[in-house]
Structure 1
Amino acid sequence: MFLAVLMALTSPFSAGAETDPSLIARRAAGQLEAASVALQEAEGARDRVAALTQTIHAYEEGLVALRQGLRQAAIREAAIRLEFDSRRDRVSRLLGVLQTMQNSPTPLLLMHPSGPVGTARSGMILAEVTPAIQAQAEDLRYQLEELSLLRALQESAADTLNEGLQGAQNARTALSQAVSDRTELPRRFTEDPAQLQSLLEGSETLEGFAGGLASLPESDKAIPIPDFELGQGNLPLPVSGTLLRGYNEADAAGIRRPGFLIATLPLSIVTAPWPATIRYRGPLLDYGNVMILEPHQDYLMVFAGLGRVYGEVGEVVSAGAPLGLMGGSSEGIEAFLPNSADGAGADRTETLYIEIRNGQSPVDPSGWFNLNKD
């Protein structure tokens, strides 16, 4: 039923492909269906962690697309209703004229008080006016049909939406278990809990902790990792979201931080932009859960604000490997649908702080990440 409604919602009054609710929602339905198949196939995948990570990405993209389709449907519906309200008097008069013409006997329509000449003139006027009246009536009919289809789209999306939300949650649960079960990750060194605890207790800022972390001894065990500087300008963002604040940009309280702040949806997956060694994972100061990666000697990547972190200190993760999940709770359909009509990004309630450090100093991440990637 849902796909049938999507196929039907293609009236001449629909917007372009980038804002057409039917096309957006159809794409979303396809993405969610593909994600469901991928989730089933991930059970037997050789690299189950990688398969589940891609599955979660597919669910996230499908749900975002579906939200966009529902949002566009709500916007279009509101626009039609506003147009009806602004044209209410004219539409009422038009309907009155059409109803009067329909109820009047044909002989009376052909008579005029001025005689045959007046009748002829009124007939000519009527002949000119009738196409315009007909066009307005057709326009009204098309818009009423579109309004009905928009409402049907929003109502019929509920089942697809519910399945997508449940599938995404199942994939996250499976990923957490798969990460716990994996044993194949190479290690450069083994964590020294006493050293980390001492560093945590003696650090009052993220900068102080990161600087101290870089000075901790490591194993000389060589594990080949691509040169980090080759990725400069092309790193993908570790989470799907929108840039909330840039490098050294002041927040509402006037505080400036030497990194990016990304607004994202609850429980979004966070992945490694580059192969790297996990130097720290866990709570830190007031940053929530923090993941610190070393992609290259003298470089650190800091990701703060996660709800859950994966992996162990000393492990070497590949590009695209899951680092953890954002905080928040799983959205139910009741929370999802009302937010769909809100285009202000109110649904992106979680924030991920990203910092890149070279030696003891932070550097502008905009020179490293590809912010123009769709």
Structure 2
Amino acid sequence: MIRAALFSVMTLFCLAPVAQAQNGTAAVLARTAVEQFSQAIEGMKAADGSQDRVRALTETITAYENGLEAMREGLREASLRETAIAMAFNSESARVSELLAVLMNLPSGSPLSLLHPSGPVGTARAGMLVSEVTPAFQAQAEALRETLEEVQMLRSLQQDAARQLAEGLRVAQDARTELSQAISDRTDLPQRFAADGARVQRLISNAETLKGFAEGLTDIDEAEGVAPMAALSDQIGSLPLPVHGTLLRAYNEADAAGIRRPGWLVATRPLSLVTTPWPATIRYFGPFLDYGNVMILEPGNDILMVLAGMEDVYGEIGSVIPAGTPIGVMGGAALDPEAFLVAATLGTGDERTQTLYIEIRQGGDPVDPATWFAARGEETQ
């Protein structure tokens, strides 16, 4: 009977999977988020004494946005992992109950009751089985301890996220407020040409399409003798996206109304910062037709980059701005921390409620942005 019971115990250990801690993806992402939020906080402190205040504030906002992405992924990973642990525990509960029943059926009483009926050889074999079961018990206990520690870490991650998010959000809001003024105060950017405001306004009034407006800017160049820019051919295909976002519609892809536009539509979070992906001349910024606020950049000779849909736009027409310079902010309401945490944990909803339109024109004709940017945007969450 002892041998049969011990054999049953060993069978359970052989069949039952041991819960092991995963590769710690959630913890890594959580640490990344904390580091990036910390960078945002330190960047905000440094911005006060920075000679290049615009750059310092831009880095602050960028660090916050990167931290937001890492936190969202970390919370989702933590939720998935905790669910997997709970499912594994529930699936093993029946095996644990069976194991306890086997142990309860082991004979008890005097030492003689542990003797095998077949004699010394059987007793020795039973002892060997017991010695083999003991390490399995220890391994199972260790696995359970590691799993409980992981659950504790995951819950701690979720509890700390609210505090980290609130602090990062406060810093980002302050940085956005100060950024607009810092850009207005900037006087160190070179001017490629002096804008003829009246001429641009006439062009806007007469242009019926974005293409016509872009062609009109080229005509102004020729009339005013604006010097051409350097070629950009060696950078094609490696430019970063100007905003954190997800590709919503590709080049010439029809929308719900069947309308096709020769550019990308990128979904972004509210108040996301938009930056120039390459040094460029600001050719125009302001409202145009139904595009909302439009920023037209000239990153290279005979190349125009059109960015449309921002709530606010920054800069001065004719100035040459370096890569990474903020040129606008998306619209929408400020992040709701509680809603963000719930959606991130459950993996439901999508905070990307704003859209940025990106169009590239070369020689006056639109080209697919896919040939220009290094990435097609983040994966849909």
Q: Same fold (TM over 0.5)?
A: yes
Which residue of structure 2 lines up, in the alignment, with residue 13 of structure 1?
20
Q: Which amino acid aligns with 1:364?
A: D
Instruction: Sort the Cα spacing of 1:356 and 1:78 in 2 relative to 1 into closer, same or farther, 3 A.
Output: same
Task: Determine if the alignment matches structure 1 residue 146 to structure 2 residue 150.
Answer: yes
Q: Which amino acid aligns with 1:330?
A: A
Q: Which amino acid aligns with 1:365?
A: P
Say if 2:230 and 2:301, in contact at 8 Å, map to a contact too.
no
Highest Rg: 1 or 2? Answer: 2
Q: Distance in 1 between matches of 2:100 and 2:199?
A: 82
Identity %: 54
Task: Determine if the alignment matches structure 1 residue 229 to structure 2 residue 217.
Answer: no
Q: Distance in 2 between matches of 1:287 and 1:368?
A: 22
- Residue 62 of structure 1 and its aligned partner are, at CA, apart by 2.1
> Residue 85 of structure 1: which of 90, 111, 124 is its match?
90
Q: Which region of structure 1 is more displaced relative to structure 2, 236-245 or 301-310?
A: 236-245
Q: For residues 125-140 of structure 1, what are the structure 2 equivalents within 5 Å?
A: 126-140=130-144
Q: Distance in 1 between matches of 2:369 and 2:285?
A: 21
> Residue 60 of structure 2: which of 31, 55, 76 is its match?
55
- Residue 36 of structure 1 and its aligned partner are, at CA, apart by 1.4
Say if 1:226 and 1:275, in contact at 8 Å, map to a contact too.
no
Partner of 1:235, secondary structure, is coil
**Unaligned 5+ residue runs, structure 2?**
1-18
- Residue 96 of structure 1 and its aligned partner are, at CA, apart by 5.7
Instruction: Sort the Cα spacing of 1:128 and 1:241 in 2 relative to 1 into closer, same or farther, 3 A.
Output: same
Q: Which region of structure 1 is more displaced relative to structure 2, 191-200 or 232-241?
A: 191-200
Task: Determine if the alignment matches structure 1 residue 341 to structure 2 residue 345.
Answer: yes
Q: For residues 159-308 of structure 1, what are the structure 2 equivalents within 5 Å?
A: 159-217=163-221, 219-220=224-225, 222=227, 225-308=229-312
Partner of 1:304, secondary structure, is strand
Which residue of structure 2 lines up, in the alignment, with residue 3 of structure 1?
none
Instruction: Sort the Cα spacing of 1:249 and 1:78 in 2 relative to 1 into closer, same or farther, 3 A.
Output: same
- Residue 175 of structure 1 and its aligned partner are, at CA, apart by 0.9
Deviation string, structure 1 residues 242-289 (Cα, Å, up to 9, x no partner): 333332233444433222222332222111122222222122233222
- Residue 32 of structure 1 and its aligned partner are, at CA, apart by 1.8
Which residue of structure 2 lines up, in the alignment, with residue 6 of structure 1?
none
> Residue 372 of structure 2: which of 364, 368, 373 is its match?
368
Q: Which amino acid aligns with 1:369?
A: F
Runs of 4+ residues deviating >6 angstroms: none
Task: Determine if the alignment matches structure 1 residue 73 to structure 2 residue 75.
Answer: no
Aligned residue pairs total 357
Deviation string, structure 1 residues 171-202 (Cα, Å, up to 9, x no partner): 11121120122233333344444444443344
Instruction: Sort the Cα spacing of 1:311 and 1:110 in 2 relative to 1 into closer, same or farther, 3 A.
Output: farther
- Residue 371 of structure 1 and its aligned partner are, at CA, apart by 1.9
> Residue 109 of structure 2: which of 107, 111, 118 is its match?
107
**Unaligned 5+ residue runs, structure 1?**
1-11
Scaled by the length of structure 2, what TM-score is found?
0.81
- Residue 49 of structure 1 and its aligned partner are, at CA, apart by 0.8
Which residue of structure 2 lines up, in the alignment, with residue 7 of structure 1?
none
Deviation string, structure 1 residues 209-238 (Cα, Å, up to 9, x no partner): 33333333564365x854333322222221
Task: Determine if the alignment matches structure 1 residue 45 to structure 2 residue 50.
Answer: yes
Q: Distance in 2 between matches of 1:58 and 1:250?
A: 34
Scaled by the length of structure 1, what TM-score is found?
0.82
Which residue of structure 2 lines up, in the alignment, with residue 34 of structure 1?
39
Partner of 2:42, secondary structure, is helix
